[in-house]
Chain A
């Protein structure tokens, strides 16, 4: 095992973490601010991917597709909030889960209806094709590095938005006392729509970027959603910082587990068994990590912090 391979796998883990962060950031914001469990958040990720793939195919430009994915996901999110989700804030979590699960079915079938069951494919834009040399030999895809870069920029941007702007203050105030912030003249309903659309746009951005790495198809959102829930539970529900740390942790643990566990087990077991047991263990690893973290920090790593 060379150092280059190890670095490559670490970067892959980081890139997966960044994707998860983009999805989890919206999910945790929506849960933290509105108290809403939105199972349909994965569908917004799917909508972003389809919008990008379809528009890029029609216009020949990945970048126009990327802009379209942001717009489509934000618009779908705002529409979803105004028409359906707004009625769920006062209800209990079971009602929210039921209603947003229905949204998954509706959006998945709607997408299948428009685009069919065959997956769409999206090419990496020419600007980001190619590879970058890694220290110790080996190469790394420029596009994946760009995803990591986008994730870092979004994380910084969100941090500044939440901690430095009037909108961020209102979001944090609404987290603790929404009746009071309304009684001071702040239109909390519009604020909620904005937060929801923002979270949706980030999920759409993640979907668009991942669309160039894997096929774009109905049902792509749910596996991502499950991982995003693991991320926000680890990070502490409502915490953006927690979402970032949790996402990078899950991304790296998952990727490195799949890479290293079979190799470690091969030291003690025959090769074929080591691969099988290693793969099985690796797929459980993030849940084991989550259980261990919750055993010591039942509310997650950064519960109660911005």
Chain B
């Protein structure tokens, strides 16, 4: 049984349909890449999983339980940790407060997060709106980890970050993978994303059009589904 499984998910923004049938699975301990050009439904898929958009059709199971239709906080409590597009750190909270505000469970502690991201450890007392973009992304990841998620979901893991910082983020994700953390990740830089991923899903116009190992995503397929 998959940790996360979406079947035929359809979702709307108001009257306009954004997802027309998304299928997606994540197994325990796996890193899964969710790909597709802009506007193809990646963020809507993630919003549907987290209950921020209510799916109109299809099923979403997490750890064997149907979660579609539950309120966001109940879904998150099942063990989903979101790192949203645009990071969305709480600007009026300090780094430490951002990490503690939703903390649950005991595996992840402040010390473990600052071990993974030493730069956060140096800035625990600073307000989140004084951090650089890279530090905010580290904080958003740390904040999600503090909820001890069974599945970490990253929407645009490294968007808008300098190459050096991107390497830091990918290094941290690799460490998490080695530690057995299941991860669903969206990112635009295929050359950095594919080596980390165990499997990939590609969305086009709100439908899953490819599922398979990164190696199976040939240059031709990349060009067809992901090229600009």
Contact = CB atoms under 8 A, between A and B. Distances in A.
Interface of A: 166, 169-170, 172-173, 175-177, 179-189, 306
Nearest to A173: B90
Contacts of A189: 71
Most buried by B among A166, A175, A184, A188: A184
A29 to B, nearest CB: 14
Interface stretch (B36-44, B92-100, B213-221): B92-100
Interface stretch (B23-31, B72-80, B158-166, B201-209): B72-80
Contact of B100 (A169, A172, A177): A169
A101 B126 CA distance: 42
Contacts of B71: 182, 189
A305 B223 CA distance: 49
Contacts of B143: 184
B52 interface: yes
A186 B88 CA distance: 15
A230 to B, nearest CB: 25
A166 B97 CA distance: 8
B173 interface: no
Contact of A181 (B51, B81, B102): B102
A183 B82 contact: yes
A306 B92 contact: yes
B200 interface: no
Contacts of A179: 52, 72
A-B pairs with lowest CB-CB distance, top 6: A185-B76, A184-B102, A182-B72, A173-B90, A169-B101, A185-B77
Given A179-B52, A187-B73, A169 B93 contact: yes
A185 B91 contact: no
A181 B144 CA distance: 11
Contacts of B104: 185
Interface of B: 50-52, 71-73, 76-77, 81-82, 84, 88, 90-93, 97-98, 100-102, 104, 143-144, 147
B52 A183 contact: yes
Contacts of A186: 73, 101-102
A166 B104 CA distance: 12
Given A182-B72, A183-B50, A173 B101 contact: yes
5 contacts: A170-B101, A176-B91, A182-B71, A185-B73, A306-B92
A172 B76 CA distance: 20
Contacts of A177: 88, 90
A181 B92 contact: no
Nearest to B46: A183
Contacts of A180: 84, 88, 90
Contacts of A183: 50-52, 72-73, 76, 82, 84
B214 to A, nearest CB: 28
Nearest to A188: B73
